[in-house]
Amino acid sequence: MSSSVNLRTIYAFAREMYPKKVTTNIEYGTAGFRTKADKLDYVMYRMGLLATLRSRVKGGQTIGVMITASHNPEPDNGVKLIDPRGEMLENSWEQLATDLANVSDKDLQSEVEKVIQTHNIDMGSASSVFVGMDNRYHSPGLLKAVSDGVLALKGNVKSFGIVTTPMLHYMVLCSNSCGAYGTPTEEGYYQKLITAFRALRGSECERGNYKNQLLFDGSNGVGARKMLQFLKRMNDELNVTVYNQGEGKINENCGADYVKIGQTLPIGTPDSEPYTRCVSIDGDADRVVYFFTDEKKKFHLLDGDRIATLYAGYLMDLVTKCEIDLKLGIVQTAYANGGSTDYIEKELKVPVACVPTGVKHLHHKALEYDIGVYFEANGHGTIVFSEHTKESVRAVADNSELNEEQIEAAKKLLSTIEVINETVGDAISDMFLVEIILQSNGWDVKDWYNTYTDLPNLQKKICVANRNIITTTDAERKVVTPEGLQNGIDEIVAKYPRGRSFVRPSGTEDIVRVYAEAATNEDVEHLVAEVSQLVYGLAGGIGPELNSTANGLPN
Ligand code: 16G
Ligand code: ZN
């Protein structure tokens, strides 16, 4: 181990600038660390340390640190590390992150030394850390703490200022692929997506039922600003009205989570003709959902399941036309509506896999396919393409002896790969692809909505003394403990046509979630109530049951 870094600096910095005043432990979960912003200074500093160590372990490759609390309310903030390929931090390092965040200031130096020894890190070697933040007012202070953590270990830090989460993921991969994925600048990001969008969309803005008009709820977050940047560079190719641009509080009564959970319009939605396409993203722009109102002003949601099916149909068509044998698959979680899963299996005839909640699980599974489309119902998702896919599509596109339709399809597929952000769900890039497909199909939202019917569904939150008493298996679709709960659920579900229900402890809140779907609104209300009652009794419910949220139910 090189002694080029004086490790005593670690404690000095911590004591003087970022003392740990919090005594309760914090855990690096599916969303990284997330809590009230005023409790995060020391965590940020320590994540600056960890990112530098990780970069050195990875031979000096760039590691990303994103400061955001995504769809959470304004007082919250959080931090997530991004691995060299632009993906989520590797599992085993999540534990290191948790350990490092929870040691006392005095033990911090020895905890760092432990990591250095275990991983045999040369502290004199090169390192690179990219940092980005959302537009919360406390983010700049937290970004400084991350940077100081990097500097304490004599690492290199580059700040991108205010960027969306997917932009930072993109920057990290660009940097580590030596530019092959794109240019690691904000302008590089805009130009890559705009170029691909133009190539796919052509000069025709309207087609069939597709109209070039879109209302965009920016959730008062960073995505609103970046959308405006896109529009500045795009002439009128996409006619977008951006609202909730930052005039209100981030995610307050707006944003993808609010729209999805509440099944309702975000605040400030401009009056418009029935069936106008509306988009809502979350505070850091890695989730997107569509919605519209009909002539009776009834609200309709097009969630992540809908986007996944739209993508899959489009990709299948291109792959068939390319005449390449590629394995396409869709990855969902247990929250995917049964209506969508049926449609994928029976109509699209695409293999579908179910994995536990959390982006990393979906991403990981999607990598098993030549083309893997993954989406959580909440609107987080993207498409990943294997190297084999990229090479074989390129070969078709470049082979002038093949027929025109085949070459054309291959070129379109190449542009699709460019427009999508393969590293992580990207609300704006996802939206571009939806717009491209709808225009290409000549579809309005009604056409899209009519591809299949969602089963009515409901979710409930239940407070229990210890939510971890509930353990699950089979991608969270079956309960293992407490004993008797799964049998009870099975008996209840059997009474309802097309009934399905599962129970899991939340990874982000101290509650248990109950999901149910059934053929009718009335049935699903009874089903969710019965299962919730059972959970409440068997898992040690406390306090009143919290509000339920509806999907696919009339307002
Ligand atoms: C986190 C996950 C999200 C998941 C949600 C579930 C990432 C980046 N985010 O926000 O994918 O849907 O947790 O929350 O993985 P829950 O465990 O409280 O239901
Ligand atoms: Zn988010």
Say what the pLDDT of residue 507 is: 86
CATH code of the domain containing 527? 3.30.310.50
Question: Nearest CA to 67 among 46, 81, 49, 50?
Answer: 81
Q: Does 76 contact ligand 1 (Cβ within 6 A)? A: no
149-194 pLDDT, tens digit per residue, is: 999 999 999 999 999 999 999 999 999 999 899 999 999 999 999 9
Q: Are residues 516 and 372 part of one domain?
A: no
**Which residues span the domain enclosing 336?**
304-449
72 torsion bin: left (phi>0), alpha (psi -120 to 50), beta (else): beta
Please report whether residue 179 resides in a domain: no
- Does some domain include residue 172? no
Decide if 175 is inside a domain: no
Q: State whether 375 and 477 are in the same domain.
A: no
Burial class (CB in 10 A: 0-12, 13-18, 19+), 157: buried
Same domain, 158 and 12: yes
Residue 347 has what pLDDT?
96
pLDDT-derived band at 545 (thresholds 50, 70, 90) equals low
Q: How many domains does the chain have?
A: 4
Query: What is the arithmetic mean of pLDDT over 79-106?
Result: 97
CA nearest neighbour of 467 among 508, 515, 516, 510: 510
Is residue 368 assigned to a domain?
Answer: yes
Question: Span 37-50, mean pLDDT?
Answer: 98
Which residue is listed with tokens 């407490």? 482
- Any domain includes 555: no
Task: Give how far Cα 183 sits from Cα of 146, 175, 446, Å.
Answer: 24, 8, 38
> pLDDT band at 541, cuts 50/70/90?
confident
CATH code of the domain containing 218: 3.40.120.10
Residues 443 and 471 in one domain: no
Examine residue 333 and state whether it is found in any structural domain, yes or no.
yes
Q: How confident is the model at residue 241 (pLDDT cuts 50, 70, 90)?
A: very high
Boundary of a domain, candidates 425, 449, 473: 449
The response to whether residue 510 sits with its C-beta less than 6 Å from ligand 1 reads no
Instruction: Look at residue 169 and tell me if it is in a domain.
Output: no
**Is the Cβ–Cβ distance between 231 and 242 less than 8 Å?**
yes
pLDDT at 555: 23
pLDDT of residue 202: 87
Q: Is 4 a catalytic residue?
A: no
- Same domain, yes or no: 463 and 489: yes
CA distance 48 to 312: 39
User: What pLDDT digit, counting tens, does each position of 348-387 carry?
Assistant: 999 999 999 999 999 999 999 999 999 999 999 999 999 9
Q: 235-267 burial string, b = 16+ CB within 10 Å, else e?
A: eebbebebbbbbebbbbbbbbbbbbbeebbbbe
- Nearest alpha carbon to residue 425 among 165, 39, 174: 165
Nearest 10 degrees: Cα torsion 317, 318, 323, 324: -110
Q: What is the pLDDT of residue 552?
A: 33
* pTM over 0.75, yes/no: yes
The answer on 464 and 427 residing in a single domain is no
Cα–Cα distance for residue pair 450/445, rounded to 1 Å: 8
**End residue of a domain, out of 388, 417, 449:** 449
Least distant ligand from the CA of 222: 2
Q: Which ligand is nearest to the CA of 69?
A: 2
Q: Which uninterrupted H or E stretch holds 310?
A: helix 304-322
- Of 55, 70, 128, 139, the active-site residue reads 70
The CB density around residue 400, as the number of other CB atoms within 10 Å, is 7
Inform me whether the pLDDT recorded for 3 exceeds 80: no
Q: Is the CB of 378 under 6 A from ligand 1?
A: yes
187 lines ligand 1 (CB under 6 A): no
Question: Do residue 17 and residue 133 come from a single domain?
Answer: yes
**Nearest listed ligand to the Cα of residue 71:** 2
Same domain, 216 and 339: no
pLDDT for the residue 306: 98
Query: Which of 508, 510, 514 most suits a substitution to test ligand 1, by most atoms within 8 Å of the C-beta?
Result: 508
What residue spans of 119-158 are helical by DSSP H?
A: 139-152
Cα–ligand 2 centroid distance for 513 (angstroms): 20
> 357 C-alpha vs ligand 1 centroid, how far in Å?
6
Residues 231 and 326 in one domain: no
For ligand 1, atom 2, the nearest C-alpha belongs to 358
For the record, the structure tokens of 3 come out as 């002694």
Choose the weakest-confidence range: 360-364, 477-481, 482-486, 544-548: 544-548
pLDDT tens profile 521-531: 999 999 999 99
pLDDT over 60 at 206, yes or no:
yes
> Confidence class of residue 204 from pLDDT cuts 50, 70 and 90?
confident
- Are 223 and 268 in the same domain? yes
Query: Tell me, what's the pLDDT at 185?
Result: 97
279 within 8 A of 217, measured Cβ to Cβ: yes
- Mean pLDDT score, 484-506: 97
Q: What are phi and psi of 417, to 5 degrees?
A: -60, -35
Alpha carbon of 285 to ligand 2 centroid (Å): 6
Task: Report the distance separating Cα 209 and Cα 447, nearest Å.
Answer: 8
Q: Does one domain contain both 375 and 389? A: yes
Q: For residues 223 and 253, is the Cβ–Cβ distance under 8 A?
A: no
Average pLDDT along the chain = 95
* pLDDT over 60 (residue 438): yes
Give the mean pLDDT of 410-439.
98
- pLDDT reading at 130 higher than 90: yes
Find the 358 Cα to ligand 1 centroid distance in Å: 5
Q: What are phi and psi of 391, to 5 degrees?
A: -65, -45
| Residue 536 token pair | 């409440």
Residues 532, 549 contacting (CB under 8 angstroms): no
d(CA 126, CA 65): 17
Please count the residues of the chain: 555
pLDDT band for 1, please (50, 70, 90 cuts). Answer: very low
Mapping DSSP to helix (H, G, I), strand (E, B) and coil, where does residue 416 land?
helix
Q: Of the candidates 449, 482, 512, which is a domain's last residue?
A: 449
Residue 551 has pLDDT above 80, yes or no: no
Structure tokens, 1? 């181990």
Tell me, yes or no, whether 313 and 281 share the same domain: no
- Compare 203 and 87 and report the one with higher pLDDT: 87
Is 78's C-beta closer than 6 angstroms to any atom of ligand 1? no
The answer as to whether 134 is a domain residue is yes
Cβ of 359 closer than 6 Å to ligand 1, yes or no, is: yes
Give me ligand 2 centre to Cα 402, in Å.
Answer: 43
pLDDT confidence of residue 544: 65
The dihedral region occupied by 120, where left means phi > 0, alpha psi between -120 and 50, and beta the remainder, is: left
